Every structure is written in structure tokens, then in C-alpha cells.
């Protein structure tokens, strides 16, 4: 059995980044991924001859961490900004008996919280009564100096239910797949509590934060799609002889501590890890070789766990009582979402009638989707690949705390639903016969680290891991949502792993 210096369990972006950090110092590295391909949520697929993102399609520019990493991979020239037209909202009628309305998402806000409650674009979304109630925030004293925890409770208390339901919740659901009531303010809007205390109003705090924010788009993408980041990482890892093993399921791992006694009586302690693998999932066990049919065990000096929360907690639990207790913490139910991508001949969409996409408020009649991205309107590189009149739209299904409504639908049924929803959201007539390509992608186990109580749970996980020599962990459930959080955390895990191995 050949020992690796570092074994990475999980081949998403976090695992690949950590592997690269170790491999570039000459360590022997292996990456084990249960799925048939690496990349995790940064994946691609082919629809009607177009290679498109099936997961993440952009990255946040905050901190410049992703851009710096992309530069290190030689991808700087492929970075591009989206169409600045911005997103819209699809909302229930403002009055009983009315029809749903579509309006641009107000621009002067943070997570949908308006900085100017009486602005015209805010009034279009929440009406005069909602705007006046939101403006009352400026007249309401800050009665308590201290931190608010629930974003939803803060918004409703300061600005009222219309701001919460028609502005903030659609944004929260689109970004975090979680209702605003369950989001930790200090995680999703760092500095908002302090700004609220200083400004004396929530709208004032939002305005102050926007003034302090850097100019330009908050997100960027890659020409060719974000999935090309995974391609670049894999190419780079192969240059350093990293062994990447997709379709490899880890069933458990355990430490082995040994002591070596020198001639002079000096005792040296060392630790390695044994990693158990399931038989190859696609193997015909009747015809398989003994190596394919039997469980295998690998050995490594250091383990980096880079899998989603449920898998990580299950693998950690047998190691010791501290880890078993982590699984018993009050973890929220992981969010799941299904994406439906349509390539459709629809010249009526050439005018980009709803900007780059639409967030749908819960309870809006006639629509099942929670969001729609008009991909060809948002990204010039996709628009350049499609003939005139052809468009790519991607719809998202599944709200926090509710079952994904599309799971039991056939491909034909989901295509029908997606076309119906796209027509209602975009305000144009669309029919199934216009569809040139369709694909569906299910993303599950999306445990948001932004929920209330998550910082304390994550602290306990990290503390237990830090106290376990030879073990590290990374991934979005620990670091935060998006590549701007995942990449620096994975780099740090890789640095810790290589230092631990080189100190042996």
C-alpha cells in the first residue's frame, strides 16, 4: 500500500484548491471523489450543443481573493462582468384581486433592504403604504444597543412585513436558499449591526454600507463558464502528479498511532490515517478482479475533509466522542434546489424584458419557480454562442423548509412547467415547441453557514478538528457561501496540511 502525504476526501473546488496548495510544495497528494466527476457545485453540462454552467455561474468580488487565485491559474483574461441591467422581482399583487407584478429590484439596497424607502423603485415593489411604513424606520429610536441576530426579525421590526416579504426574502432565498428569518445578521451583512447603532436607522445603515462598498459589479464570471475553473485546476494538478479518483466512495477513516524506539531509548511518536473505500460502484462484481470487488484501504499522513456537511459529520462521528457529539448539534435541514435549463427559440426575449433575471416572492400565484436567470442576457459569452432569437434561461425550484416541488416530475413534465413559469416571469408568450434543449440538475445537502447559530456550531467543529493531529476540514458549510469564502478557506486548509506533513 503506497502512502500519500495528503489525501483529500472530496473533489469539489475546496478539495481541489487544498490539493493544489499541497502539491505545489512537492507533497504526494490524492483526491477522492464519490461522484463520477470532480468540481462539486462548480460544474458544467451540455444543452443543445452549448456547454453551460450547471452550478455556480459567478463569484463575488469582495476581498479580491477569487480574482487573485484565478490570476495565479492564468485565467485573468477570461474574467468578465455581467450585464449591468440588474435583476427584477416577480411579486404578488399589491392589492386584493390584482395580478402579479414584475418590477426592477431596487438598486440602493443591501440584501433587498432599501436605503431610500420612498424612492420610486422601492414604491413600485411595496406600494406607498409599504414605503411609508419602511420610512418609519428613520423615526424609530434604536431602543437597544446590541446585536440583532435574525435578519428577518430585524427587517420586519424596523421596516415592516412588506419590505421583508417582497424585497428581502426573495433575495435571501436566491442567495442563501434560506428565509431571512433564519439568517444570522453578522454573517450575511457584516457591519450592519454596528452601522445601525451609529446611523440610528436601518435605512441609514444600509446607505452607509453602500457608500463604503467599492464601485462596480458585486459579481463576475469567466468567459466559457465558471466550470472552466475546475478544468484549469485539474490540468494544474495533473502537472504535479496528483492522483484524482472520481467514483471513489470513502466509507470511513481512522488514525493509527505508532511509537518508534531508537537505540538510545528515544521514543518517537507518529500518526498516519487509514482510509476505507467502498468497491468501485460501476464494477460488475461477478466479473471484477479481486481488487475491484473488495473494499480497499489507503494510507496517508494527513487528511483534509472537503465534503458537504452531512457526509463530513457522518465520517467524523466514529473517530471519537467529541466528533459524535457534533452530529447531535441543532443543525438545520439542508436546503435542496433543482435547476431547469432551457435553450429556447424566443425572439421576444431579445429585448431582455426582465433584465438579467428575476427573483420570485413566495406565494406569487401562477409560478412554482423561486428564481430565473436569463443567461444570454446576463453573460455576453453565452449570447455570442447562440443564433439570433435563441436564448438560455435557467429556473430554480425549491424553497427553504419545503420539499423540492419538481422531484417527482418527468423530464417532459418539468420542461412544461419551466416553459410555463418562464413565460409568466418574463411576461412573454412561450411554448414547449420552441424549446431546443433541456437539462435538469439537482443540488442537495446545501447547509448554509449563514443560519442563526451556525457560527457557534462551526466553531465547535473547527475546534474539535484543530485538536486532532493529522486532520483538517474545509468546504462551503464551514467557510461560507460562494467561491469568495470557499477558496481562501481551502487555501488555509492546504497550508496547514503541508506544514503538518513537512514538520513530521
Beta strands in 223-293 (DSSP E): 243-245, 250-261, 267-277
**What per-residue confidence (pLDDT) applies to 284?**
45
Sign, CA torsion 98/102/108/109:
positive
Cβ atoms within 10 Å of 278's Cβ, excluding its own = 13
Q: Are 337 and 398 in contact (CB under 8 A)?
A: yes
Q: Are 277 and 32 in contact (CB under 8 A)?
A: yes
- Supply φ then ψ for residue 174, to 5 degrees: -70, -35
Rounding to the nearest 10 degrees, give the CA dihedral for residues 170, 174, 178, 179.
0
Q: Cα 305 vs. chain centroid, distance in angstroms? A: 18
Here the cell at position 36 is 463520477
- Pick from 256, 198, 271, 219: nearest CA to 378: 219
Strand partners, 255: 273
Which one-letter DSSP state was computed for residue 19? Answer: H
Rounding to the nearest 10 degrees, give the CA dihedral for residues 37, 38, 40, 46.
-50
| Alpha carbons 274 and 279: distance in angstroms, whole number | 16
- Pick from 168, 102, 91, 101: nearest CA to 134: 168
| Alpha carbons 170 and 204: distance in angstroms, whole number | 22
| Alpha carbons 385 and 376: distance in angstroms, whole number | 9
All structural domains of the chain, each given as residue ranges with its CATH number in brackets, are 3-41+228-332+449-502 (3.50.50.60), 106-216 (1.10.3110.10), 333-446 (3.90.660.20)
**What per-residue confidence (pLDDT) applies to 283?**
45
- Pick from 459, 456, 463, 416: nearest CA to 440: 416
**What per-residue confidence (pLDDT) applies to 146?**
53
| Alpha carbons 238 and 31: distance in angstroms, whole number | 11
Q: Are 169 and 152 in contact (CB under 8 A)?
A: yes
Pair type for strands 250-261 and 390-397: unpaired
**What per-residue confidence (pLDDT) applies to 289?**
44
The tens place of each residue's pLDDT in the chain, 504 residues long, gives 478 999 999 999 999 999 999 999 999 999 999 999 999 999 999 999 999 999 999 999 988 999 999 999 999 999 999 999 999 999 999 887 789 999 999 988 899 999 999 999 999 999 999 999 999 999 888 755 456 889 999 999 999 999 999 999 999 988 888 899 999 999 899 899 999 989 999 999 999 998 877 655 689 999 999 999 999 999 999 999 999 999 999 999 999 988 766 667 676 778 899 999 997 555 444 444 444 456 789 999 999 999 999 999 999 999 988 898 898 888 887 788 999 999 999 999 999 999 999 999 999 999 999 999 999 999 999 999 999 999 999 999 998 888 999 999 999 999 999 999 999 999 999 999 999 999 999 988 776 778 888 899 999 999 999 999 999 999 999 998 899 999 999 999 999 999 999 886
Distances (CA, A) of 394 to 82, 341, 374, 397, 407: 16, 4, 7, 10, 16
From its phi and psi, is residue 184 left (phi > 0), alpha (psi between -120 and 50) or beta? beta
Here the cell at position 422 is 418562464
**What per-residue confidence (pLDDT) applies to 215?**
59
The Cα angle at residue 489 between residues 23 and 239, in degrees rounded to 5:
20
Amino acid at each position: 500500500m503506497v502512502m500519500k502525504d495528503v489525501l483529500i476526501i472530496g473533489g469539489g473546488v475546496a478539495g481541489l484548491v487544498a490539493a493544489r496548495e499541497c502539491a505545489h510544495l512537492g507533497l504526494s497528494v490524492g483526491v477522492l471523489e464519490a461522484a463520477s466527476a470532480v468540481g462539486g457545485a462548480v460544474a458544467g453540462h451540455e444543452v443543445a450543443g452549448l456547454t453551460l454552467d450547471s452550478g455556480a455561474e459567478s463569484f463575488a468580488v469582495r476581498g479580491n481573493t477569487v480574482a487573485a487565485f484565478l490570476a495565479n491559474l492564468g485565467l485573468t483574461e477570461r474574467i468578465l462582468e455581467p450585464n449591468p441591467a440588474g435583476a427584477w422581482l416577480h411579486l404578488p399583487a399589491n392589492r386584493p384581486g390584482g395580478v402579479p407584478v414584475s418590477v426592477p429590484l431596487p438598486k440602493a439596497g443591501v440584501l433587498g433592504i432599501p436605503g431610500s424607502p420612498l424612492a420610486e423603485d422601492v414604491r413600485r415593489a411595496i406600494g406607498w403604504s409599504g414605503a411609508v411604513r419602511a420610512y418609519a424606520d428613520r423615526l424609530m429610536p434604536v431602543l437597544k444597543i446590541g446585536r440583532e441576530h435574525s435578519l428577518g426579525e430585524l427587517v420586519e421590526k424596523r421596516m415592516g412585513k412588506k419590505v421583508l416579504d417582497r424585497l428581502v426574502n426573495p433575495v435571501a432565498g436566491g442567495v442563501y436558499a434560506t428565509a431571512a428569518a433564519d439568517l444570522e445578521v453578522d454573517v450575511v451583512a457584516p457591519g450592519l449591526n454596528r452601522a445601525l447603532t451609529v446611523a440610528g436607522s436601518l435605512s441609514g445603515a444600509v446607505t452607509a454600507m453602500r457608500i463604503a462598498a467599492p464601485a462596480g459589479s458585486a459579481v463576475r464570471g469567466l468567459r466559457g463558464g465558471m466550470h472552466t475553473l475546475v478544468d484549469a485546476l485539474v490540468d494544474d494538478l495533473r502537472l504535479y502528479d496528483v492522483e484524482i479518483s472520481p467514483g471513489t466512495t470513502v466509507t470511513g477513516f481512522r488514525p493509527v498511532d505508532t511509537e518508534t524506539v531508537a537505540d538510545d531509548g528515544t521514543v518517537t511518536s507518529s500518526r498516519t490515517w487509514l482510509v476505507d473505500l467502498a468497491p468501485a460502484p460501476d464494477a460488475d462484481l461477478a466479473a471484477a478482479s479481486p481488487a475491484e470487488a473488495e473494499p480497499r484501504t489507503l494510507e496517508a499522513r494527513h487528511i483534509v475533509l472537503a465534503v458537504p456537511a452531512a457526509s463530513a459529520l457522518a465520517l467524523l462521528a466514529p473517530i471519537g466522542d467529541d466528533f459524535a457529539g457534533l452530529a447531535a448539534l441543532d443543525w438545520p435541514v439542508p436546503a435542496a434546489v433543482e435547476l431547469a435549463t432551457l435553450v429556447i427559440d424566443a425572439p421576444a426575449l431579445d429585448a431582455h424584458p426582465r433584465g438579467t433575471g428575476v427573483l420570485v416572492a413566495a406565494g406569487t400565484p401562477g409560478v412554482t419557480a423561486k428564481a430565473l436567470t436569463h443567461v444570454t442576457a446576463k453573460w455576453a459569452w453565452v449570447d455570442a454562442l447562440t443564433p439570433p432569437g435563441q436564448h438560455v434561461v435557467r429556473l430554480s425550484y425549491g424553497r427553504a423548509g419545503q420539499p423540492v416541488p419538481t422531484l417527482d416530475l418527468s423530464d417532459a413534465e418539468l420542461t412544461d412547467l419551466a416553459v410555463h413559469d418562464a413565460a409568466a416571469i418574463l411576461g412573454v408568450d412561450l411554448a414547449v415547441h420552441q424549446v431546443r434543449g433541456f437539462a435538469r440538475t439537482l443540488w442537495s445537502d446545501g447547509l448554509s453557514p449563514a443560519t442563526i447559530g451556525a457560527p457557534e456550531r462551526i466553531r465547535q467543529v473547527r475546534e474539535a478538528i484543530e485538536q486532532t493531529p493529522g486532520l483538517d476540514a474545509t468546504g462551503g458549510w464551514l467557510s461560507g457561501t460562494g467561491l469568495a469564502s470557499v477558496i481562501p478557506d481551502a487555501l488555509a486548509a492546504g497550508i496547514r496540511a503541508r506544514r503538518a506533513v513537512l514538520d513530521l
